[in-house]
Amino acid sequence: MEVVGRVTAVGAEVSEGLVGQQVLALLPGFGGFAERGVAEAEMVLASPPGAGADEVVALGVNALVAELALQRVGAAAGERVLVRGAGGGIGVLATQIAHARGAEVTVVTSSSARGERLRELGAAHVVDRNRSGVPDAGFDVVVDTVAGPDLGQHLELLRPNGRYVICGAAGGLPSVESFAPLLRDFHKSLSLHAFSLNSVTPEELRGSWKRVVALLGEGRLSAVVDQVFPLAEAAAALRHVADGKAFGKVVLRPR
Q: Are residues 132 and 234 in the same domain?
A: no
Q: Are residues 191 and 79 in the same domain?
A: yes
| CA 171-176-179 angle, 5° bins | 85
Residues 44-78 pLDDT 10s: 999 999 999 999 999 999 999 999 999 999 999 99
Host domain of residue 17:
2-62+199-253
CATH number, domain containing residue 143: 3.40.50.720
Q: Are residues 193 and 204 in the same domain?
A: no
229 neighbors 205 (Cβ within 8 angstroms): no
Give the per-residue pLDDT at 29.
Answer: 76
| H or E stretch covering 94 | helix 89-100
Residues 167-194 pLDDT 10s: 999 999 999 999 999 999 999 999 999 9
| Structural domain contains residue 110 | yes
pTM here is 0.95
Give the per-residue pLDDT at 154.
Answer: 94
CATH number, domain containing residue 206: 3.90.180.10
Closest by alpha carbon to 84, among 159, 175, 150, 177?
150
Q: What CA–CA distances, in Å, run from 66 to 34, 38, 69, 208?
A: 26, 25, 5, 10
| Structural domain contains residue 10 | yes
Cα 174 to Cα 65: distance, rounded to the nearest angstrom: 20
Give the per-residue pLDDT at 133.
Answer: 64
Q: What is the CA radius of gyration of the chain?
A: 19
Q: Are residues 192 and 247 in the same domain?
A: no
Residue ranges in the chain modelled with pLDDT below 70 = 133
